[in-house]
Amino acid sequence: MITYDSLFIGGAWVRPDSNARIDVLSASTGEPIGSVPGGTTADIDAAVAAARRAFDDPHGWSSWSAARRADAIDSLANEVERRAEEMARRVSSQNGMPIAVATALEAKFPVLILRYMAGLARSYPFETEQPHLLGGTTTVRHESRGVVAAIAPWNFPQVLATVKHAPALAAGCTVVLKPSPEAVLDAFLFAEAVEASDIPAGVINIVPGGREAGAHLVAHPGVDKVAFTGSTAAGRAIAEVCAGLLRPVTLELGGKSAAIILDDADLDLATLGDRLFESLILSNGQTCFLSTRILVPDSRYDEIVATLETFVRSLKVGDALDPTTQIGPMATQVHRDRVERYIAKGVAEGARLVVGGGRPAALPQGWFVEPTLFVDVDNASTIAREEIFGPVLVVIRYKDDDDAVRLANDSAYGLGGTVWSTNAERAMAVARRVQTGTIGINRYLPDPSAPFGGFKASGLGRELGPGALDAYLQSKSIYS
């Protein structure tokens, strides 16, 4: 059991007044693995006050040179890297992410992002001069926004927290991070890394909690900017609050992305199996950008369906901490029940269930769902329209390239997507027509140095890339 009794606020471990606790269960076994304090609105108030003091300090974080901030961020990257193995283990234990995936992503991507943002801070033009068009000089400054409320989800808790706090830190902001109650043990390990780094006290504060704590943080008068990753429904509610407060917000929300398999695609599983796995069903399907709607041409429909059936049947289901596991459990029992309701809905609406659809008999404990493949799916059906967030793939038939693009774009979402073809020029032409914030050709792997975000109901704003810093800055023009 991993147990904490205090919250990390103001650079110190503070015992909360409330006795509220968040008990953590293993997704693979359902057994208790940890317990931490549950943050209350009073704890949020304390964290925001600490972040405000750290930001307003005339000699504090926001006044530091960009190079000095970058050095401190690098020191944080070093401390996170030292805890990489334990970080991966905690994430996998909590949310069911296979340990091989957690080791490759949750343990390594945060370090990469922190170092990228430190480098960006060193080169960013925080202050420039230009000729005034009416005579004289204009100095343009890009100044820190202030206190950032960073709200991270449970599916990739460290990566999706880092894409918020790393650019915020590089910009000179201070942060209140609210992890999801379904993924808290990794957040406390991250707090230990912060404490051991050169990040000053109060610059990063961590308070886990549920909806009440999150709502209080979003609306808090001491917050200057909100960054959120989660469901579209929650994102809309946050956007309404921020609109009323004229508070800037970045929202990375849901997805129902399409994999367009062109009629010249080579789907040899021996060479492309890993890329299909990463693009279609990574981390048990609990990934927002996955291409879970697979668009298959009439001319090769039966052949490609057979290949996909072989692929899905080949996936090894097991304990998340087993390094050979490809598909682990759902994060919680409640989430497993939700995924199972979608599978039942797919059957009821007439889709053909080819693989899976139930619970693996060999794994009676934990919250497992078999990798599932539906074919002959109507793009207007529930399982083709709504984000299932589990190991469920749906196959939709199309006639030609124009029809494939039409179906891909016939969605409320626009976050990810893929195009599969042996003709790079043709694939690029199709990719340009898909209404989505990101898309891959014969693979899908986000680039930390390029913008990431969605069109339509998949969100507002962008994370990653050089522009990520802009969201945490505000411009000032000084005329002389």
Q: Residues with catalytic annotation? A: 252, 288
Q: Which two tokens stand for residue 231?
A: 């469901």
Q: Are 168 and 148 in contact (CB under 8 A)?
A: yes
Phi/psi for 40 (5° steps) reads -110, 175
What does the alpha-carbon distance between residue 380 and residue 394 come to, in Å, rounded to a whole number?
Answer: 12
What does the alpha-carbon distance between residue 61 and residue 52 come to, in Å, rounded to a whole number?
Answer: 11
In sequence order, the 6+-apart residues with CB closer than 8 A to the CB of 473 are: 126, 142, 143, 144, 145, 171
Q: Name beta bridge partners: 128.
A: 140
Closest of 194, 202, 227 to residue 78, by C-alpha: 194
